[in-house]
Structure 1
């Protein structure tokens, strides 16, 4: 009877203590969250309840499993202790990663709620995202190393591994040169403020929005919902356009190739009506000028300002569509005409008659002049 009750007491007691600790921590976090609603840290820390309970329960079982005195436990004491140690290391790493993630999210949420500059908010978001990924990677590496060191065979070869660590490090550095380059490029992007999540960029002729930045790659969502994934080292080694850096305001231009008789003043009045009725215009500036001329046409440029690249694209399309409709309906002569009919054929030349035919033709003319119908001798 004692062999049955002792394991139940040890295991049941560990589970009960774990549940009590989890309930107490959750109650304290609820009170702190209700007392300080402006600080999201306490509410976010409640996400750590599950890894905390797993860590506490595993720690209690690791310290008390040998007290059960069960034959099965005594027969496999080493394996059980090894398993509990591995679970404890993994649960602790899970808890550390979750706490770090909560702290980072809380800091970003508090900064975003009080900041008034969207560009700085995107910059902080990019930095905290990469910091969170770095912390996760470091904790994961440390946890895996600690789990490997729990095996006696790994501890036995530790000395020889350290002795060859220099050579292995050189070989690994050469083999992982590209990966390490992307890693440092990701840190440079995060803290150098070169590109941020949410920025509008033009890369290799593709216009899109930066959707995700990791330590090794960057994802750009194009206007037609495609995703372009490229290494972050691209942004540190090649030029690219960042339309969001230094402000999101954009100047949109529309070019018209028109006849020399196009009504420029009336087109200016029409452009004023278009921009004043458009919600994409930010009210800063607009103009319409003749910027170039050719023997057959003139080039008219309409310039309109907008709040961001999306509005610039919208108002560019509106100006182009409505201005062409205005010219088509009221001044069709201003639109260039392209001749597509074939050129008229050259008039046929009279066929030259042979010399003999010319002789008889002259003879017939002589007869007609004499009126006798007979030829001269």
Structure 2
């Protein structure tokens, strides 16, 4: 295509360039036509299917498949036209890994979206959280691996990078030690993320208590976990901390919990009427799941007693609201029906103090 006349000037073979351009346009047109016909048939077949997974998959891989077909057509055309081959071969070696990585990335995203769509109709919330956690972590791991491999393959198509790679391989021992030491935190987080996906100490949507923060697990990344508290704060917890330290998971197997309500009353209080009122109020409450209801005196001090009211509910949110309702109702009932049960600090002086009436010494 280019002919050297002297060291300073170039001339263009316009005939060869025109033929290469014609072959290029023809190859792209044929590839586009094949793409349109093939996808029209596939879309018709997908529309006949009752599952929406097919449409999700087609929507995700449509663009990478289109450009991959164009790249294949140009590669085949370059074998016919040497002028086009001179231009396309270096560029094709660089683009082919990118297109393959794009297809793999799209397939991972399509699979993730399809599985999440199926989970939306599941009845078991615990199983849904478990699968969402695994999908989230494994899809992120696969995405990172695809990006790293794709970028590496693209860079190794550049001759200068190949030379650098050969030099690094010559000193692989020292390089491995250096990379291992530098990447230790990242590798620890990666392994911790995979362990969480497999062992599932917590999952997306679980109610947990970590470092004194109570909230729902909103996101699980390879390096950190986002816990959303009741006041909408986002607590960032390192992934490795979940495996290294203890924490509370309130919804590990289900959200059915039992919670306490504590009342501190006067030691002279009769517990029987209070127990009867608690049982009457909780039995008529819509949030009680009829599983746990008890009123026990758990402590007795010289100036007070402690009553623990145990109630249960179907979900953590229902349990919180039920406990608040029981606490508010019982305090109001005690103020009206048994005001003497409220704690008062007393000072009894039987017959007066013997020195109260004595005159002061001069």
Same fold (TM over 0.5): yes
Partner of 1:130: 137
2:227 paired with 1:214: no
TM-score by length of 1: 0.81
Partner of 1:94: 102
**Structure 2 residue corresponding to 1:106, chosen from 68, 91, 114:** 114
Structure 1 residue matching 2:263: 3-state secondary structure = strand
Partner of 1:265: 272
2:60 paired with 1:47: yes
Partner of 2:11: none
Query: For 1:163 and 1:49, how far apart are their aligned partners in 2?
Result: 42
Deviation string 1:124-154 (CA, Å, 9 cap, x unpaired) is 2111222211221111111111111111122
Partner of 2:340: 333
Change (3 A) 1:53 1:288: same
2:189 paired with 1:187: no
Q: Which moved more, 1:124-133 or 1:260-269?
A: 260-269
Structure 1's unaligned 5+ residue stretches are: 353-377
2:38 paired with 1:31: no
Shift of 1:95: 1.5
Partner of 1:166: 173
Shift of 1:40: 1.5
Structure 2 residue matching 1:233: 3-state secondary structure = helix
Partner of 1:244: 251
Shift of 1:188: 0.6
Deviation string 1:305-359 (CA, Å, 9 cap, x unpaired) is 111222221111111111111111222221112479xxx9x7784452xxxxxxx
Change (3 A) 1:4 1:176: closer
Query: For 1:347 and 1:45, how far apart are their aligned partners in 2?
Result: 100
Query: For 1:283 and 1:180, how far apart are their aligned partners in 2?
Result: 48
Change (3 A) 1:347 1:268: same
Q: Which moved more, 1:214-223 or 1:255-264?
A: 255-264
Query: For 1:200 and 1:350, how far apart are their aligned partners in 2?
Result: 68
Structure 2 residue matching 1:284: 3-state secondary structure = strand
Shift of 1:201: 0.6
Deviation string 1:169-207 (CA, Å, 9 cap, x unpaired) is 111112221211111111011011211111111001110
Structure 2's unaligned 5+ residue stretches are: 1-13, 348-352
Query: For 1:9 and 1:276, how far apart are their aligned partners in 2?
Result: 84
Shift of 1:287: 1.4
Shift of 1:105: 3.1
Partner of 2:163: 156
Moved over 4 A (4+): 1-8, 65-70
2:189 paired with 1:176: no
Structure 2 residue matching 1:126: 3-state secondary structure = helix
* 1:294-313 equivalences in 2 (<5 Å): 294-313=301-320
Query: For 1:273 and 1:29, how far apart are their aligned partners in 2?
Result: 64
- Contact in 2 for aligned 1:213/1:219 (Cα 8 Å): yes
Partner of 2:297: 290
Query: For 1:45 and 1:14, how far apart are their aligned partners in 2?
Result: 24
Partner of 2:4: none
Query: For 1:98 and 1:296, how far apart are their aligned partners in 2?
Result: 69
Shift of 1:243: 0.9
Give the number of the structure whose alpha-carbon radius of gyration is greater: 1
Query: For 1:281 and 1:328, how far apart are their aligned partners in 2?
Result: 24
Query: For 2:115 and 2:103, how far apart are their aligned partners in 1?
Result: 18
Shift of 1:53: 1.5
Query: For 2:72 and 2:346, how far apart are their aligned partners in 1?
Result: 88
Kindly report the root-mean-square deviation, in angstroms, between the aligned alpha carbons of the 2 structures: 3.0
TM-score by length of 2: 0.84
Query: For 1:144 and 1:244, how far apart are their aligned partners in 2?
Result: 41
- Contact in 2 for aligned 1:39/1:110 (Cα 8 Å): no
Shift of 1:219: 1.1
Query: For 1:270 and 1:99, how far apart are their aligned partners in 2?
Result: 60
- Contact in 1 for aligned 2:133/2:220 (Cα 8 Å): yes
- Contact in 1 for aligned 2:299/2:306 (Cα 8 Å): yes
